[in-house]
């Protein structure tokens, strides 16, 4: 058995020596320093047959601590080019204005319209909303006034009658044919052969949610809450006192009652009785009385305020 083991060891040594003659030479020479030198030489010989690989470093990383002259100039040129580059428009505006390629147009579509386009769209929408609202208000006003005309035409006592001014549905001349027959005003009407009291009503765009403007045209009246220009002092004719439930017939009946309550009379003074009321004077007087009543309420104001 010992003889067999020695033979196997000799065979291994023989194979190793025949496979690597340099190793065999170093083995025969001995010495740890020679073996290390042989190994270094062997590693150099093996690496000499291949091209050296360049070490790669990421751009701007720690390995690029000392850039070459070319890199420094390139970086400086890039900074100057970026500084001199003109400002870019908004994505939506650029895509629409330049008409670029598909990518640019798609980017502009995703970004949405620019500020100018948004402002134009808002302006267009703003002009459409009031127009539609005005049309709706006109329809509501027209339907209400048509119904009012029909109801007045069906009155059995012929309390009032209506004539359209220049065939306008929104401008009425209303004739008040009757007041309290026990009043002095009714007596004046009989003595002066006055068949009716003529009034004018104009209806605003937002009627019936705002009151009509109402004034006396003829005859010229005194007292009875009728003021300069034919303006009428009635709370229900003001925005604060008005209700959309009020009808023209109800307003006229209230006016007839206020004439009697305020001791209204037909003016018979020479010269003054023939002077007609004017709309401009009536509007100015009405604005003044509304302002006064908003300050003091619907009570008799101080003499200093007229």
- The 3-state secondary structure of 222-279 reads ECCCECHHHEECCHHHCCCCCCCCCCHHHHHHHHHHHHHHCCCEECCCCCCCCCCCCH
3-class secondary-structure state, position 80? helix
* Cβ proximity of 102 and 110 under 8 Å: no
Cβ atoms of residues 259 and 185 within 8 Å: yes
Please identify which of the residues 179, 227, 233, 248 carries the catalytic annotation.
Answer: 233
**Rounded Cα gap, residues 131 and 125, in angstroms:** 10
Strand 171-176 with 197-202, pairing: antiparallel
* 233 annotated active-site: yes
- Reference 290, options 253, 250, 239; nearest CA is 239
Active site residues: 233
């Amino acid at each position: 058995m010992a003889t067999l083991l020695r033979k196997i060891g000799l065979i291994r040594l023989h194979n190793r020596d025949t496979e690597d003659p340099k190793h065999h030479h170093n083995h025969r020479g001995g010495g740890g320093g020679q073996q290390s030198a042989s190994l270094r030489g062997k590693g150099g010989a093996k690496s000499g047959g291949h091209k050296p690989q360049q070490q790669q470093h990421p751009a701007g990383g720690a390995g690029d601590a000392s850039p070459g002259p070319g890199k420094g100039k390139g970086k400086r040129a890039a900074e100057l080019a970026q500084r001199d580059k003109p400002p870019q428009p908004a994505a939506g505006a650029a895509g629409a204005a330049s008409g670029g390629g598909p990518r640019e147009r798609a980017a502009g579509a995703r970004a949405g319209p620019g500020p100018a386009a948004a402002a134009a769209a808002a302006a267009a929408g703003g002009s459409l909303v009031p127009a539609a609202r005005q049309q709706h208000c006109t329809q509501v006003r027209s339907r209400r006034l048509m119904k009012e005309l029909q109801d007045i035409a069906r009155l059995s006592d012929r309390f009032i009658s209506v004539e359209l001014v220049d065939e306008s549905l929104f401008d009425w001349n209303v004739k008040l044919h009757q007041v309290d027959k026990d009043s002095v005003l009714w007596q004046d009407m009989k003595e002066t052969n006055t068949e009716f009291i003529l009034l004018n009503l104009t209806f605003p765009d937002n009627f019936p949610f705002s009151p009509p403007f109402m004034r006396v045209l003829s005859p010229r009246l005194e007292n009875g809450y009728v003021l300069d220009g034919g303006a009428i002092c009635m709370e229900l004719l003001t925005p604060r006192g008005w209700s959309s439930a009020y009808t023209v017939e109800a307003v006229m009946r209230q006016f007839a009652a206020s004439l009697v309550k305020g001791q209204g009379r037909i003016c018979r003074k020479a010269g003054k009785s023939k002077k007609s009321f004017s709309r401009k004077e009536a509007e100015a007087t009405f604005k003044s009385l509304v302002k006064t009543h908003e300050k003091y309420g619907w009570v008799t104001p101080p003499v200093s305020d007229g």
